[in-house]
Structure 1
Amino acid sequence: MRRQDTPPGASAAVGAALYGLATRATRRLPRDMSLTSAATLATLHKTGPRRITDLAVAEGVTQPAMTVLVRVLEEAGLAERKGDPSDKRVTLVRLTEAGASYVRTRRQAGVDAYARLIDELTGDEVEALAAALPALRHLAELEGHAGAESDR
Structure 2
Amino acid sequence: MRLVREVSTVGDLSSTAASVLSQLARMGPSRITDMAHVAGISQPAMSQLVGRLEHEGLVTRAVDGDDRRGVLVAISDPGRAVIGARRAQRAAIFDEALGRLDESDRSRIAAALPALDRLVEAVLEP
Give the structure-1-normalised TM-score.
0.77
Residue by residue over 1:27-60, the C-alpha shift from the partner in whole angstroms, topping out at 9 and shown as x without a partner, is: 2321712111111111111111000001111111
Taking the aligned partners of 1:118 and 1:57, their CA distance within structure 2 comes to: 36
Taking the aligned partners of 1:108 and 1:44, their CA distance within structure 2 comes to: 18
Q: Which of 61, 73, 78 is the equivalent residue of 2:58?
A: 78
Residue 97 of structure 1 and its aligned partner are, at CA, apart by: 0.5
Aligned-pair identity (%): 34
The residue aligned with 2:3 is 24
The residue aligned with 1:109 is 89
Q: Which of 77, 83, 104 is the equivalent residue of 1:97?
A: 77
SS of the residue 1:121 aligns to: coil
Larger Rg: 1
SS of the residue 2:9 aligns to: coil
Taking the aligned partners of 1:25 and 1:92, their CA distance within structure 2 comes to: 28
SS of the residue 2:69 aligns to: strand
Q: Which runs of 5+ in 1 are unaligned?
A: 1-21
Residue 77 of structure 1 and its aligned partner are, at CA, apart by: 0.4
Q: Which of 124, 129, 133 is the equivalent residue of 2:104?
A: 124
Q: Does structure 1 retain, via aligned residues, the 8 Å contact 2:58–2:78?
A: yes
- Higher RCO, 1 or 2 (CA under 8 Å, sep at least 6)? 2
Task: Supply the RMSD in Å over aligned alpha carbons.
Answer: 1.3
Runs of 4+ in 1 over 4 A off after TM superposition: none
Q: Which runs of 5+ in 2 are unaligned?
A: none
Taking the aligned partners of 2:4 and 2:34, their CA distance within structure 1 comes to: 27
Residue 74 of structure 1 and its aligned partner are, at CA, apart by: 0.6
Residue 80 of structure 1 and its aligned partner are, at CA, apart by: 0.8
Taking the aligned partners of 2:58 and 2:95, their CA distance within structure 1 comes to: 27
Taking the aligned partners of 2:16 and 2:73, their CA distance within structure 1 comes to: 15
Taking the aligned partners of 1:55 and 1:110, their CA distance within structure 2 comes to: 24
SS of the residue 2:70 aligns to: strand
SS of the residue 1:89 aligns to: coil
